[in-house]
Copies of this chain bind each other. A is one copy, B any other.
Amino acid sequence: MKGCQIIVPRPYEVKIEEFEIDEKSIGPEDILIETMYTMISPGTELSIYTALDPGVYDFKSWCHYPFRPGYIAVGKVIAKGSNVTRVNIDDVIYCFSNHASIAKIPKHSFYLKAPLDIDKKLILLTRLATIGLTSIRVSSVTPGNIVVVIGLGLVGNFAAQLFQIAGGKTIGVDLSNKRLELARKAGIAYILNPSNCSVKEKVLELTNGKGADIAVDAVGDSRVVLQAAELVRKMGEVIILGTPRASYKTNITQLLRMVHLNWITLKGALEWCFPLYKTFGSKYSYEENSLYIWQLLKEKKLYTEKFITHIIQPKDFKEAYEGLLNKKDEYLGVVVDWREIQY
């Protein structure tokens, strides 16, 4: 069976490539899907597109060139192995798949039957919301806490909303006024643009000089982590939610002194630290996190209006990457529509 997929062969290049899946290669635990929609995950995908991630040139790395990007998809099951019991042919599933018109989802990957009462394109946002949720899960947030979230892309915006659902009050920080405005619409208590004000002064003002209880780096930038450490109170928490990628040479003692002297805790929040499915002995899983996000979406407790800014055809992929990279005010959630691709 023939399909097509997106490939990033080298920095700043994107191409569409045909490929073939032999239906005999579907193992007893695998399923085959016809993709309806995929979504671009800006942080990770752009770090590979721009070669910011050092792994792109390392053949041992999961993200080396040529790279098949993408890992959020909604699709319809068109074939399944004999042992698959969780889904049936024609079921629509939410899964971690790449940008491709068809895909084999192996046993060790993740998929869940999609809820019928949520828009298929909105379901794609689940992944970005569960990434955001990781920072809440590792934090020790408690009602009344002031939480600064730096970076209000989709992951940061969801984190900001979820911290409020956990009883916190969020201060959202971003350089894009559009993103700040969206955060405000999503109910984020305070929004700050560092180009207009001193974030540190404002945070101190909003916390009676104490500092925030928690600060989250949702950018994935070492300088943001340093800034976050300056914003938290004694015994506060700094959570690294974005993956720090760009090298940044500085006096590391400055950060470590703050951690020591203010008894700060620095926590890494990586989504992959949850098991995929409910597992005996593990408190949370991807599965439970996803189901929780769906519950919030159904109850209209998560704001997602205008989160999807573009619905594109596969041929417009490069334009979308460039837009996400350079027009942060315009581009936020980009959905790829695979339904009309013909062979």
Contacts and interface: CB of A to CB of B under 8 A. Distances in A.
A259 interface: yes
Contacts of A270: 260-263
B244 A253 contact: yes
A235 interface: yes
A266 B266 contact: yes
Contacts of A263: 138, 267-270, 273
A225 B264 CA distance: 15
Interface string A74-86: 0000000000000
A249 B247 contact: no
Given A240-B259, A273-B235, A222 B266 contact: no
Interface in A239-289: 240-253, 255-270, 273
Select the residue from A246, A247, A255, A256 with max chain B CB neighbours within 10 A: A256
B234 A273 contact: yes
A226 interface: yes
A262 B138 CA distance: 13
B253 A247 contact: yes
A256 B222 contact: yes
B253 A252 contact: no
Contact of A245 (B241, B253, B268): B253
A312 B288 CA distance: 64
A258 to B, nearest CB: 8
B266 A244 contact: no
A233 to B, nearest CB: 12
Contact of A246 (B235, B241, B253, B262): B253
A241 to B, nearest CB: 8
Contact of A247 (B220, B251, B267): B251
Contacts of A241: 260
Contacts of A251: 247-249
A252 B260 CA distance: 16
26 contacts: A220-B260, A222-B252, A222-B253, A234-B273, A240-B256, A240-B259, A240-B260, A242-B260, A244-B253, A245-B253, A246-B253, A247-B251, A248-B251, A249-B249, A250-B252, A252-B252, A258-B268, A260-B268, A261-B270, A262-B270, A263-B267, A263-B268, A264-B268, A265-B266, A265-B268, A266-B266
